[in-house]
Amino acid sequence: MELTTLSYLDLIIQIAISIALVLDYFLLRKENLKRHGALMTSAFAVNTVSIVAVMLPPFLGQTTEILENVLETESLLFLSHHVLGLIAEILGGFLVLRWVLKTFNESFCRGKTLMRATIGTWLFSILLGFVLFAWHLG
């Protein structure tokens, strides 16, 4: 995979999303659930655009090569990053959809186990993305 200007822009976006996720997780207070929901919804939306515009095209373009060389370190990192990212995106989509459909009602912010699993999966996927990015720099 060749690093492009979009790759560098996506790196900056993913760093910003990571900072927002971590800060919101630690700064979350019960009285700020609406802010939390709005921030997580925004992070999900930005990440979705990033996936479709930047990450998906190289993945689709290299699927055959990756599957042929699945046991190579780079291919394993690439597949792990994308599978975990897909899981995080699906979980995040479920949480955001639940939040939006309940008209931003704070009483539907239950499910901390699912939220923690989602943020952990998301952050680990982002970390693997950073590793892949650094791999291609070297």
Lookup result for tokens 């650094």: 134
Q: Domain range for residue 89?
A: 5-137
* Closest by CA position to 83, among listed 55, 64, 61, 111: 55
- Position with higher pLDDT, 68 vs 87: 87
Split into its structural domains, the chain has a count of 1
Quick one: residue 103, left, alpha or beta (phi over 0 = left, psi -120 to 50 = alpha)?
Answer: left
CA distance 132 to 82: 11
Q: What is the pLDDT of residue 55?
A: 79
Give the mean model confidence (pLDDT) for residues 102-111: 60
Give the mean model confidence (pLDDT) for residues 81-110: 80
CA distance 124 to 120: 6
Question: What does pLDDT average to over the chain?
Answer: 81
Q: Is the pLDDT of residue 9 over 80?
A: yes
Q: Are 131 and 77 in contact (CB under 8 A)?
A: yes
Q: What is the pLDDT of residue 1?
A: 57
Q: Is the pLDDT of residue 36 over 90?
A: no
CA distance 54 to 36: 26
CA distance 17 to 20: 5
Cα–Cα separations (whole angstroms), residue 94 to 8, 65, 88:
29, 32, 10
Q: Are 118 and 88 in contact (CB under 8 A)?
A: yes
Contacts of 40 (CB under 8 A, 6+ apart): 21, 24, 92, 95, 96, 99
pLDDT tens-digit series, residues 13-32: 989 988 988 888 777 765 67
pLDDT band at 48 (very low <50, low <70, confident <90, very high): very high
Name the most confidently modeled range: 36-50, 52-66, 71-85: 36-50
